[in-house]
Amino acid sequence: MNVETAKVRVQELHDQLNRYNYEYYVLDNPSVPDAEYDQRMQELIDLETQFPELRTSDSPSQRVGGQALDAFEKVEHKTPMLSLANAFNEQDLRDFDRRVRQVVGDGVAYVCELKIDGLAVSLRYEDGYFVQGATRGDGTTGEDISANLKTIRSIPLRLPEPLSIEVRGEAYMPKKSFDALNEIKAEQGEVPFANPRNAAAGSLRQLDPKIAAKRNLDLFLYAIADAGNTGVESHSEGLNLLDKLGFKTNPNRQKCATIDEVLEYVDSWREKRPDLPYEIDGIVIKVDLFNQQEQLGTTAKSPRWAIAYKFPAEEVMTRLLGIELNVGRTGVVTPTALLEPVRVAGTIVRRASLHNEDLIREKDIHIGDYVVVKKAGDIIPEVVNVIVDRRSGEEQEFHMPTHCPECDSELVRLEGEVALRCINPSCPAQIREGLIHFVSRNAMNIDGLGEKVITQLFKEDLVHDVADLYRLTKEQLIQLERMGEKSADNLIQAIETSKSNSLEKLLFGLGIRHVGAKAAKTLAQHFETMDRLKEATYDELVAINEIGDKMADAVVTYFSQPEVLELLAELESFDVNMTYKGPRQVEPSEIDSYFAGKTIVLTGKLEQLARNEAKAKIEELGGKVTGSVSKKTDLVIAGEEAGSKLTKAQELGIEVWDEARMLQELNK
């Protein structure tokens, strides 16, 4: 075959495969058997191998995931991707309707849609070709995830018309794909995703599009970014146009003429929600006509013409089979409810933390009780209450033990705390949990050293403290259950790599009380080396912004322990890095600017700069911008129509500048 003939055939195959794709993934109504699709695809791939010049970016063969990336590029959204204000009950929706009608009058119609629980993405087409897909990010800047989005088969790579258009929608993982993915994760001993939304987000943030390609993601489009330019006059017409262009929109939308109709729609989906093949977390209600949307306008965060009704967190009844005790890294003993497995908000729940004995008393929880369970924030399972009416009399009261379930030393209740603690520093549970923390992602990030391996290493007496990790040999690792040669090699390599981590990772990993990942970074940035931090005094520590007295105390106490100094010396002898490698923090005193080290309040309308731009520039010059005027304020910058903050500044005798004066100083 010559290239000319091949070109014609490739074009035919594109058209056919695009049509099959559309029928299968958008219409859910395939017209040919899978085998025929596969055969055409193979023919296309063969032709593209023979004539690589015919392989175009919109080829249906390009969906399997190309080259892995090093990082995602940033994408500035031409029109911001706003979020929605929330409504939680009927009254909130009626209030919304009243506000809308106050502005546009009674002739308003709404479009109700399902609020898909995934993540917002934006797709850009130029002359009909898909050119870029991005995440929402902070609404102004997102990340270019084109390669991953291309793997979603319902997204057309080419439109039937040569349109330049930006469309937006929700990427999600269907329940079925989610269950299958979590099953594989569980089999491989990996941590499962908490819900389909996290799974979708995690999949689209993979740098290797081949992984995203395997995740069976999908996308419902819900808006055209600049719909006014397409000639349509309402949101519902916009959705119809999306359909016409071959996009997948959600079919369950409904136009409603009154708020009562909206409420009926909302109620009907409360019932039907569990039967959907994907998760929804509410209903979105939008004013239909664009001219009315314009009249209503938007606030900085969200449009006034739309609202999201959020369903209350799903609550399910199950039985409390028992209570297990866990000793954490800091010695706190936590009771955990063991539940009869039950599906809540997307996943099977088997356990829920009961936090402490006071909470068990407060909720009057007995072993054997029927309990109501929900997921707080749709992630963390919790016992809401007990169904006392269902008690048979067999239920048993629960009491916290007096001794540590792991090392049997007496538990204590520290002053002002509800928690019971084991204070034995050689308690094996604490050491094990400390090791798990040390290798975790935000700490030393040692891949392949999960909870299971740590527990084994501990049981086999191979590690007792974090320094022992750096003594491990491949021969020792191979002895462990389910550890092959390759995994052992990888693990040794990961341990080796962790030696060059920047100081904050080590600091966080050491598990100094009150020092979280953020504080560890602040400390590392400030002191730059472990040696200097070791010598830091309480006064030096509290002088740092963001370091409070409790943390300062804990740091001083930590480094005063001879065992700690010994451990650090050991880590150092293994060449574990003890210096900060990130960008240097510039002290306000080093910046030659009027704003350096000053506390500043911005108020009123600025003409030249947006408020957040002004804030960013001032901060760049070492100033601290706060929201309210107090005696600590050094300077107030008052734009047009400044109100009570300006008055207060004048009362307190604080220096006040206008915008022009600020710009003069910023531009110096």
* Residue 137 Cβ vs ligand IVH, minimum distance, rounded to whole Å: 11
* DSSP element (H, E) containing 159: none
Q: Which of residues 37-76 bind ligand IVH (CB under 6 A)?
A: none
Report residue 434 as tokens.
């400390």
429 binds ligand IVH (CB under 6 A): no
Q: If binding is defined by CB under 6 A, does position 308 make contact with ligand IVH?
A: yes
Q: How far is the CB of 423 from ligand IVH (least distance, A)?
A: 46
Residue 279 binds to ligand IVH (criterion: CB under 6 A): no
Q: What is the amino acid identity at position 355?
A: H
Site string for ligand IVH, 327-356 (x = CB under 6 A): ------------------------------
Question: Least distance (Å) from ligand IVH to the CB of residue 125?
Answer: 19
- Helix/strand/coil for 635: strand
435: nearest Cα among 470, 483, 484, 482: 470
| CB contact at 8 A, 123 and 147 | no
From 7, 74, 78, 115, the catalytic residue: 115
Question: According to the annotation, is 378 in a ligand binding site?
Answer: no
Give me 50's structure tokens: 């023979």
Do strands 420-422 and 332-344 pair parallel, antiparallel, or not at all (unpaired)? Answer: antiparallel
* Sole residue written with tokens 């219409």: 27
Q: Are 110 and 163 in contact (CB under 8 A)?
A: no
84 is in an annotated binding site: yes
Q: What is the Cα gyration radius of the chain? A: 30
Give how far Cα 346 sits from Cα of 268, 310, 374, 546, Å: 20, 16, 11, 38
Q: Candidates 63-71, 196-204, 303-311, 343-351: pick the segment binding ligand IVH (CB under 6 A).
A: 303-311
Binders of ligand IVH in range 627-666 (CB under 6 A): none
113 is in an annotated binding site: yes
Closest residue to ligand IVH, judged by C-beta, is 120
Catalytic residue status for 363: no
Site size toward ligand IVH (CB under 6 A) is 15
- Residue 433 binds to ligand IVH (criterion: CB under 6 A): no
Write down the least CB distance from residue 97 to ligand IVH, Å: 18
Measured at the alpha carbon of residue 167, what is the angle toward residues 165 and 171, in degrees to the nearest 5? Answer: 150
Structure-token pair, residue 57: 């970016």
Q: Is the dihedral of CA 438, 442, 446, 447 positive or negative?
A: positive
The nearer residue to ligand IVH, 152 or 454, going by C-beta atoms, is 152
* Residue 180 burial (CB count, 10 A): 13
d(CA 464, CA 481): 19
Q: Does 145 bind ligand IVH (CB under 6 A)?
A: no
Q: Structure tokens of 461?
A: 């007496």
Give Cα 93 to chain centroid, integer Å: 28
Report the nearest approach of ligand IVH to the CB of residue 292 (Å): 15
Quote the tokens at residue 641: 């129509």
Q: Find the binder of ligand IVH among 87, 111, 112, 116 (CB under 6 A).
A: 116
Helix then strand then coil, % of the chain, to nearest 5: 40, 20, 40
Cβ contact 335:356 at 8 Å: yes
Contact flag: residue 284 with ligand IVH (CB under 6 A): yes
User: CB of 303: closest distance to ligand IVH in angstroms?
Assistant: 5
Q: How far is the CB of 174 from ligand IVH (least distance, A)?
A: 15
**Do 161 and 102 form a contact (C-beta atoms < 8 A)?**
no
| 192, 303, 328, 450: residue in contact with ligand IVH (rule CB under 6 A) | 303
Which string of x and - marks every residue 468-507 that binds ligand IVH (by CB under 6 A)?
----------------------------------------
Q: How far is the CB of 395 from ligand IVH (least distance, A)?
A: 42
Question: According to the annotation, is 74 in a ligand binding site?
Answer: no
Binding string, 192-231, against ligand IVH, x = CB under 6 A?
------------------------------xx--------
The answer to whether residues 477 and 488 touch, using CB atoms and an 8 Å cutoff, is yes
| Closest approach of ligand IVH to the CB of residue 314, in Å | 17
Which of 284, 654 has the CB closer to ligand IVH?
284
Residue from 47, 120, 123, 352 touching ligand IVH (CB under 6 A): that is 120
Interaction of residue 306 with ligand IVH, rule CB under 6 A = yes
E-strand stretches of 483-585: none
Angle in degrees, CA 325, 424, 322, rounded to 5: 5
Is residue 447 within 8 A of residue 490, CB to CB? The reply is yes
Q: Residue 624, interface with ligand IVH (CB under 6 A)? A: no
Cβ neighbors of 193 (< 8 A, separation 6 or more) are: 178, 181, 182, 185, 199, 202
Calculate the CA dihedral of residues 478, 480, 484, 486 and round it to 10 degrees: -60
Q: Does 83 bind ligand IVH (CB under 6 A)?
A: yes
Of 59-67, 81-89, 199-207, 255-263, the segment contacting ligand IVH by CB under 6 A is 81-89
Is residue 84 involved in binding ligand IVH (CB under 6 A)?
A: yes
Angle between helices 562-573 and 549-559 (to 10 degrees): 70
Residue 115 binding ligand IVH, by CB under 6 A: yes
256 among the known binding-site residues? no
The reply to whether 285 sits near ligand IVH by the rule CB under 6 A is no
613 marked ligand binding residue? no
- Which residues are near ligand IVH by CB under 6 A? 82-84, 113, 115-116, 120, 136, 170, 222-223, 284, 303, 306, 308
Residue list, annotated binding site for NAD(+): 34-38, 83-84, 113, 136, 170, 286, 310
Q: Give catalytic residue positions.
A: 115
